[in-house]
Each structure stands twice: as C-alpha cells, then as structure tokens.
C-alpha cells in the first residue's frame, strides 16, 4: 500500500516560505548535491499540493512543470481551472488520498503548503515526514504547521547531515 509522505524543507524556526511565499533563503543554504531528492523522487507515484505551492513551483521552474509524468492534484477552492499535467480539485483531501492509495503503486508526495498539511494531519493521513531543516531563522513567514494543527505524536526514524541541512525522517 502506498504511503503518504510529507517531503519538505523548513527554516530552523519552522517556516516553509517567507510571508510573500518566497523561497530565496532556502536556495542560499549549502546542501550536499540534491540532499537525497532524486532517490526520494524514485518512490513517488502521485503528487498533491495546494494552489499557492503549485504557483510557486511554476515560478521556480520558469513554467516547466517538473512532475508531469505522474498524477498531480492541486487542491483549490476554484477547481474549474485547467492546466497541462495537473488536475485542480476541491475533493476533500481524505477522499483524494484514499482514492489514490488504490490507484497508484508508489508513494503519494504531499508537497504543501501549510493548510494542506494541516488538513492531512487532521485526518491522520501522513505516514512519513521527511523534513530538511535549514540553518536559517526567518522570524516570520508561513509555518510548516499552522496554528490549530492537530497534535500528532511522531517517532524518529533517521537523521543525517546534508551539507548545512539536517535531514530528519519521522513516522506517525
């Protein structure tokens, strides 16, 4: 059965982006190659993200969508949009994930953002948390776990340094 994996980077103070959605701070941190991204991506069979995260991915990739070879779902309140390689949906996340666990053979990558993560945690849908912690304190920004996120107990599976990042993996 595929697992739902939150694979994401955050600042030392728990932010996934600046208040204006910018990620410049993240790319200024010295990593070790791709910090294990290529190996992780080989395990992915579907991608779920929020609309703002999708728009940031397009900016970062200069319009070339990087996950086009697998099912992609963009959670939005306005699902009547259309774009190549993605499905915009307002399907409840718990229904979408339960459906995808039957339809795909590999893991489901929950990219973000914070509200999507919060909704997935509310329904105990995230099986594994793979978090790259950057040695940057932003002071303000978009939190990985927004106010009101359900308390969740996790178990540390592994940790390693990757350049200046600390890569941690937890399971629910």
Distance CA 36, CA 58 (A): 22
Instruction: Give the end-to-end CA distance of the chain in Å, rounded to a whole number.
Output: 16
CATH code for the domain in which residue 135 is found: 3.40.430.10
pLDDT above 90 as % of the chain: 76
What is the arithmetic mean of pLDDT over 137-144? Answer: 96
Domain range for 26 is: 4-171
Total number of domains constituting the chain: 1
- pLDDT at position 139 is 97
Kind and range of the H or E run holding 97: helix 93-103
Query: 21 pLDDT band (50/70/90 cuts)?
Result: confident
* Cα(73)–Cα(65) distance, integer angstroms: 13
The H helix count followed by the E strand count for the chain is 5, 10
Whether the predicted pLDDT of 93 surpasses 80: yes
Contact yes or no for 43/36 (Cβ under 8 A): no
Q: What is the pLDDT of residue 171?
A: 97
Which one is predicted more confidently, 61 or 148?
148
């Amino acid at each position: 059965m595929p697992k739902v994996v939150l694979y994401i980077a955050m600042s030392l103070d728990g932010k996934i982006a600046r208040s204006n959605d910018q990620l410049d701070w993240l790319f200024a941190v010295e990593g070790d190659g791709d910090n294990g991204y290529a190996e992780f991506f080989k395990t992915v069979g579907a991608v779920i993200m929020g609309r703002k995260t999708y728009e940031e991915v397009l900016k970062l990739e200069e319009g070339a969508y990087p996950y086009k070879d697998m099912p992609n779902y963009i959670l939005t309140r306005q699902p009547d949009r259309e774009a190549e390689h993605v499905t915009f949906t307002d399907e409840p996340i718990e229904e979408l994930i339960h459906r995808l666990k039957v339809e795909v053979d590999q893991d489901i990558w929950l990219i973000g953002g914070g509200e999507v993560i919060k909704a997935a945690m509310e329904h105990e849908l995230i099986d594994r948390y793979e978090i790259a912690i950057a040695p940057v304190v932003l002071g303000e920004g978009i939190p990985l776990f927004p106010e009101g996120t359900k308390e969740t107990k996790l178990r540390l599976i592994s940790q390693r340094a990757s350049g200046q990042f600390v890569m941690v993996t937890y399971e629910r």
